[in-house]
């Protein structure tokens, strides 16, 4: 077991975490040395277990896992970091690339793809890999909305342009008011604005929305 890749799983979904741990432990070259549902424990558990690879989930709407990934990369240059994220989140994929992680995998990916990402992270922690990176790059080149905003953020922008309040946006998207507020705040942050009027003006200038006739 001494030559096994030491893996830590950090995922706030208990069944997903246990499923990943069970999957990894079946592999002769991989070994689970720790798991937790608390991202705040990430730095400590990596240090205490001397992990080679950490598998970390990125959950909307706050995507706090990206912040943890950046912190881990800053602390542990040789640590393999695999991010699990919802499928179709191109903006998160590009943020993951910029954060210095080793691999980006959709939560719905086949088990073989997840295991391949872990093994890649173990041997090339500073080399980024992601299935679907090519198509995502193509979409970014041809769509200004997807280059900057996630699909949900683009929806929020459209609803803001229609004059909906945060509460009305929450109803339209079937999410809580606090979640809708988080989406709006993230939208403002990406557009580098502080209110609705500035967001609409900036979006028009960047071609993210079409002017109304």
Query: Do 177 and 162 sit in the same domain of this protein?
Result: yes
How far, in Å, CA of 197 to CA of 188, rounded?
Answer: 11
- Strand, helix or coil for residue 119: helix
User: What is the rounded end-to-end Cα distance, in angstroms, of the chain?
Assistant: 67
Read out DSSP for 191-213? HT-SSHHHHHHHHHHHTSSPPP-
The pLDDT-based confidence of 142 (bands split at 50, 70, 90) is low
pLDDT at position 20 is: 92
- 211 or 159, which is more confident? 159
pLDDT at position 146 is: 45
Do 102 and 114 form a contact (C-beta atoms < 8 A)?
A: no
- 179 or 32, which is more confident? 32
Query: Do 132 and 165 sit in the same domain of this protein?
Result: no
* CATH code, domain with 154: 1.10.10.10
Overall domain count for the chain: 2
pLDDT at position 155 is: 87
Last residue of a domain, one of 86, 110, 136: 136
How far, in Å, CA of 90 to CA of 51, rounded?
Answer: 28
Tens digit of each residue's pLDDT (9 = 90 or more) over 22-62: 999 899 999 999 999 888 888 899 999 999 999 998 875 55
Give a yes or no: residue 154 inside a domain. Answer: yes
Which residues, including other chains, have CB under 8 Å from residue 51's CB and lie 6 or more apart? Answer: 6, 7, 8, 33, 34, 45, 79
Last residue of a domain, one of 114, 136, 158: 136
Sign for the CA dihedral angle at 133, 138, 144, 146 comes to negative
Nearest to 42 by CA among 67, 13, 16, 61: 67
Give a yes or no: residue 166 inside a domain. Answer: yes
pLDDT at position 59 is: 74
% of the chain beyond a pLDDT of 90: 36
Query: Do 130 and 150 sit in the same domain of this protein?
Result: no
- Strand, helix or coil for residue 80: strand
Give a yes or no: residue 211 inside a domain. Answer: no
Give a yes or no: residue 118 inside a domain. Answer: yes
Q: Give the structural domain span for 172.
A: 143-206
Do 81 and 127 form a contact (C-beta atoms < 8 A)?
A: no
Give a yes or no: residue 212 inside a domain. Answer: no
Query: Do 76 and 106 sit in the same domain of this protein?
Result: yes
For the record, the structure tokens of 169 come out as 């946006």
Query: Do 51 and 114 sit in the same domain of this protein?
Result: yes
Question: Per the confidence metrics, is the pTM higher than 0.85?
Answer: no
Tens digit of each residue's pLDDT (9 = 90 or more) over 86-101: 776 677 787 888 788 9
Query: Do 31 and 72 sit in the same domain of this protein?
Result: yes
- Judged against a pLDDT cut of 80, whether residue 138 lies above it is answered with no
Query: Do 27 and 84 sit in the same domain of this protein?
Result: yes
Tens digit of each residue's pLDDT (9 = 90 or more) over 106-117: 888 899 999 999
């Amino acid at each position: 077991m001494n030559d096994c890749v030491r893996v830590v799983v950090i995922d706030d979904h208990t069944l997903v975490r246990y499923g990943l741990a069970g999957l990894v432990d079946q592999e002769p070259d991989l070994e689970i040395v720790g798991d937790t549902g608390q991202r705040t424990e990430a730095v400590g558990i990596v240090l205490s277990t001397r992990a080679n690879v950490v598998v970390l989930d990125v959950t909307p709407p706050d995507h706090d896992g990206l912040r943890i990934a950046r912190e881990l990369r800053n602390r542990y240059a040789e640590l393999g970091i695999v991010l699990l994220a919802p499928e179709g989140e191109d903006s998160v994929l590009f943020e993951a690339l910029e954060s210095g992680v080793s691999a980006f995998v959709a939560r719905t990916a086949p088990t073989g793809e997840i295991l391949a990402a872990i093994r890649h992270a173990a041997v090339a922690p500073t080399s980024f890999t992601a299935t679907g990176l090519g198509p995502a790059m193509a979409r970014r080149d041809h769509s200004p909305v997807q280059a900057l905003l996630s699909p949900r953020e683009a929806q929020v922008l459209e609803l803001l342009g229609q004059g909906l309040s945060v509460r009305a946006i929450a109803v339209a998207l079937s999410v809580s008011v606090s979640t809708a507020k988080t989406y709006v705040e993230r939208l403002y942050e990406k557009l580098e604005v502080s209110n609705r009027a500035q967001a609409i003006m900036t979006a028009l200038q960047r071609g993210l929305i079409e002017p109304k006739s």
